[in-house]
Amino acid sequence: MANTKSLIWVLIIFFGLYPMVTFGTIINVPTSQSTIQNGINSSVNGDTVLVSPGEYKENINFLGKKIVVASKYILTNDTSYISNTVIRGINNTSTVSFANNEDSLSILTGFTITNGLVGIYCQNSNPTLTFLKIENNASNDFGGGIKCINSNPLIKNTTIRNNQSRYDGGGFYCSNSNPIIMNSTIENNQSYQNGGGLYCSNSNPKLNNVVVSFNKSMVDGGGIYSENNSQPKILNSFISNNISTWYGGGIACYKSNAILDSVTISFNKSESWYSGGLHCEKSSPILTNVLITENNVARAVGAGAGGGGIGIIDSSNPYLSNVTITKNAALVSGGGIYIDAYSAITFDTVKRSNIYHNESTFGFEIFSENKEVHLVVDTFIVMKPSSDQLYPINNYTFDILHAKVSQENSVLYVSPNGNNENDGLSWFNPLKTIGYAKSIIKATSHTQGVIYLDSGLYSMSTNGERYGLQIWSNISMRGRGVNQTILEGNDQDGILHYSYVLGDTIENLSLTNGRSSFGGGIAITNSDVVLKNVIIRDCNGINGGAINVSLYSNVTIVNSLFFHNTATAWGGALYGGELAHFKLINVTITDNLANDNGGGIYCYAANVDLINSILWNNSPFQVYIYEFAGASEINAAYSDIQDGLNGIRYKGNGIIWYDSTNISTDPLFESSSGNYHLSNASPCIGVGIDSIQILDYFLVSSAEDIEQHLRADSLHTFPDIGAYEFLYEQPDNIEHFGKEIVSDFSLLQNFPNPFNPSTTFKYSIAHTSNVSIIVYNTLGQIVKELSKGTQSVGDYYIHFSGIELPSGVYFYTINAVSENGKDIFRDTKKMLLMK
């Protein structure tokens, strides 16, 4: 009797459940009874079946009895008893069953429950389940770990993991039930339909201090799926690292008004369609004190890939009170929130929410098809949102108290190794993505915005860059060089889009592996854009493998290379349509393919001016002209076009001016370089033109080639044809006179000074260093980087041309860094360009 009393007092303290206490019998397993079920069979209400460590291959049923079935964990609080006392189900049925009106005095505690068709099955019962591990159970229908039908169990301090179901509820399934789950973990479960972690239908589960993580559903609700008038209440919990194939990586609500308070929803993912964190469909959940962060929609299917943080569709209207939505991402629309045309969102005007640092292609923070969204927040990414942040901007009114980011900066720096929480005001503190930089830059008709791009690969896999970037007016993007700054589209979408913009330039970078219906690399509609020193390669589109230009656009392309691009219809490299106008100067277009026509260039009621350019080995034909609702026109001079006039085909009334200065001879690219440099025997060397008048305007050759090497002197001699100038001297225009001993680092004044248009800098390197020479204007903007890389001991001379610069004061700076990254020399000089 003493042992019985001791155990009773343990139970009173352990569970705190007993308004009345009976002095029952302790039935020891396996000493008194050989199996747990035999112990249950021999028990009466108030008894305890106490199980010693071991593996028990059986299925147990409580038979409606108010008893405790426990491992010796109940006596010691030693968690090893939970792992070492295992009930392993047999005969393809539930390992543990409560199906006879059990109530809270039917207690199961301190076991590992495994190998069941369902781990624990509850029907018309309300048992207490504590300190359990429910794992590695697999259902051929619903509910792998726990299955509740018309039941209200209390579940505490329990781990539900590594379970799966053929249909809904990999970890936990409840129908017409109201379970209470406290201080527990639901992890690494999988359903082949909805609710990888937890599924509830017409149920009101309550979760308090629960972690729902690393679960997966093959349809909706990777962590939790709630439907059919369910109202789950989730408090003080974490929903993280869950995955759904379709809607709601973290939580999906369908006809279900969940209540969330003090919840973190993070690192969840929808692999397609909508809602990385929380999905609302015909639902109006209430969110209070919730953090939604680092969730994403990874891939586009149909019109999907929206709502990185929250997706709101089909007559839903969630209520947000002190909710922070940050660092979420969607591939297409609404990095923070997506709202369809039939839904809304309501913001608490007192306990305001915060939305910032989310990313998407359309609407970094919110994308709404609803035309009447009233945004009321404490902190938003900027004070004066544009369509970058709220898309489309005309669908919103807003009341914002604070901004996360100032919009006063017209010059920003970006590096794949940067961070979007940096200020982006220098190379020492760069932003991480182009998309984020263009969303916060100040760019007006009076203030040109410039985004400087550091060397590196900009892609989804390296810095999280999401393409299909919509670039607004008066923004210039300047890379370090075509071989240094590379934008890779990962064959997912066109890389850059320009629509109804003016004053934009793209310089010194490469684009590769873009894919889009119109312009795999760049799509330009009714816009004026300049491309200078650009490579576009290995891009694919229906019309325009590399670039699609349409609807009255004016595009100037200088010192650029297009190769290995493919169009499934027209324009392997370039497509121009609907009265668009190309001006091509020192452009090389080679080895591109169109499956229909115009392997190099296709003109559909568009005009092309072409000087100092190479069109070679494009198929079929170098240029194809099609007249529709207006004659297409091509003006070609000082260019190398394969098959000459026969390489230009037309249908209708195409207009061709083919000057006698053109040639049709193999350009003899340097095969060893692999990037279409001219060999020393090329017929394209020295047969270009510095400038030419076409109609009422001039086309002027650049003073530098695609790699920013000086052409000989484009005002007085003939430049080469093509993007690359043949180099007779060292390619970086640096003369190096090595010395065994140089006493110190130095930077001398340029000579001549003042100068027009060229001058020379001399500097000395005392020991091997990483050296950069950069020219700035008086606004501190980079004009040109003249040198970057490792240099050995010696004296150096750099020849600098200011032919394309306006008169004024400029500064040139040397920075030498040791191999361990320490600054060892820095100096700046002033010079004056007078024209």
Cα atoms in the Cβ-side hemisphere of radius 13 Å centred on 71: 27
Domain holding 800, by residue range, is 734-833
The tokens of 124 are what? 């018309």
Q: Within its chain, how far is the Cα of 559 from the centroid?
A: 31
Cα gap 435→178, rounded to integer Å: 45
- Return the minimum-mean-pLDDT range out of 608-612, 648-652, 662-666: 648-652
Whether 594 and 680 share a structural domain? yes
Output the pLDDT for position 655. 80
Local confidence band at 618 (pLDDT 50, 70, 90 cut-offs): very high
Q: What mean pLDDT do residues 156-161 have?
A: 98
- Model confidence band, residue 16 (pLDDT cutoffs 50, 70, 90): very low
- For 432, counting Cβ atoms within 10 Å of its Cβ (0-12 exposed, 13-18 middle, 19+ buried), the class is buried
Mark which of 653, 677, 700 sits at the end of a domain.
Answer: 700
Of 657, 532, 527, 655, nearest to 581 by C-alpha is 527
Burial of residue 568, with CB atoms counted within 10 A of its CB: 0-12 exposed, 13-18 middle, 19 or more buried: middle
Burial zone of 335 (CB within 10 Å; 0-12 exposed, 13-18 middle, 19+ buried): buried
Say which residues have a Cβ less than 8 Å from residue 451's Cβ, sequence separation at least 6.
412, 413, 414, 434, 437, 438, 441, 475, 476, 477, 478
The answer as to whether 9 is a domain residue is: no
CA angle 368, 431, 438 (to 5 degrees): 45
- CATH code of the domain in which 749 resides: 2.60.40.2550
> Domain boundary residue among 656, 683, 700?
700
Number of structural domains found in the chain? 2
Q: In whole angstroms, what is the distance from residue 259 CA to residue 290 CA? A: 11
- Judgement on whether residues 747 and 686 belong to the same structural domain of the protein: no
What pairs with residue 367 in β-bridges? 338, 391
**Worst-scoring range by mean pLDDT, 94-98, 577-581, 782-786?**
782-786
Report the pLDDT averaged over residues 463-468: 87
Percent of the chain surpassing pLDDT 90: 67
What does the pLDDT average to over 324-350?
95
Check whether residue 508 and residue 624 sit in a common domain. Answer: yes
131-145, 152-166, 305-319, 466-480: the lowest-pLDDT one: 466-480
Q: What is the pLDDT of residue 150?
A: 98
Whole-number pLDDT of residue 734 = 56
CB atoms inside a 10 Å sphere around CB 312: 31
pLDDT at residue 470 above 90? no
Is 230 within the bounds of a domain?
no
674 burial (CB, 10 Å; 0-12 / 13-18 / 19+) is exposed
Interval 104-133 mean pLDDT: 98
pLDDT of residue 18: 37
pLDDT of 613 reads 97
Mean pLDDT (whole number) for 32-60: 97
Contact yes or no for 601/616 (Cβ under 8 A): no
- Picking from 56, 70, 86, the residue whose alpha carbon sits closest to that of residue 131 is 70
Give the Cα separation of 700 and 693 in Å (integer): 9
Same structural domain for residues 582 and 500? yes
Secondary structure (3-state) at 817: strand
Mean pLDDT, rounded, of the chain: 90
Whole-prediction pTM: 0.72
Two structure tokens written together for 604 = 């559909």
Residue 629 confidence class, pLDDT cut points 50, 70, 90: low
Domain co-membership, 533 together with 597: yes
Radius of gyration of the chain (CA): 35
pLDDT at 712: 61
Residue 565 placed within a domain: yes
Q: Is the peptide bond before 754 cis (omega within 30 degrees of 0)?
A: yes
Same domain, 614 and 504: yes
In a domain, 331, yes or no: no
DSSP designation for 460 = H
Let me know: does 568 contact 592? Beta carbons within 8 Å: no
> What pLDDT is stored for residue 84 in this prediction?
98
Answer yes or no: is pLDDT of 631 > 70: no
Using DSSP's 3-state secondary structure scheme, residue 12 falls into: helix
DSSP 34-98: SSHHHHHHH--TT-EEEE-SEEEES-EE-TT---EEEETHHHH--THHHHHEEEE--TTS-SEEE
Which residues share a beta bridge with 396?
373
Q: Which amino acid would we find at residue 769?
A: S
Task: Tell me the pLDDT band of 17, cut-offs 50, 70 and 90.
Answer: very low
Same domain, yes or no, for 694 and 738?
no
Q: Are residues 739 and 692 in the same domain?
A: no
Backbone angles phi, psi at 15, to 5 degrees: -100, -30
The answer to whether residues 686 and 743 belong to one domain is no
Tell me, yes or no, whether 561 and 673 share the same domain: yes
pLDDT on residue 630: 59
pLDDT value at 555 more than 80: yes
- Residues 724-771 pLDDT 10s: 998 754 333 555 555 445 567 888 888 777 877 778 788 888 888 888
Which amino acid belongs to residue 423? D
Q: Among 21-35, 93-107, 706-720, where is mean pLDDT lowest? A: 706-720
533 within domain boundaries: yes
**CA 674, 680, 682, 685 torsion: positive or negative?**
positive
611 assigned to some structural domain: yes
Q: Taking residues 119-146, report their average pLDDT.
A: 97
The answer to whether residue 394 sits within a structural domain is no
Range with the poorest average pLDDT among 160-164, 495-499, 575-579, 724-728: 724-728
| Among the ranges given (226-235, 392-401, 444-453, 793-802), the one the predictor scored with the smallest mean pLDDT | 793-802
Within-domain flag for 437? no
| pLDDT for res 299 | 64
- Looking at the fold, whether 681 and 743 belong to one and the same domain comes out as no
Return the amino acid letter for 821: G
Burial class (CB in 10 A: 0-12, 13-18, 19+), 344: middle
Q: In this structure, are 743 and 673 located in the same domain?
A: no
For residue 416, whether the previous peptide bond is cis, meaning omega lies within 30 degrees of 0, is no
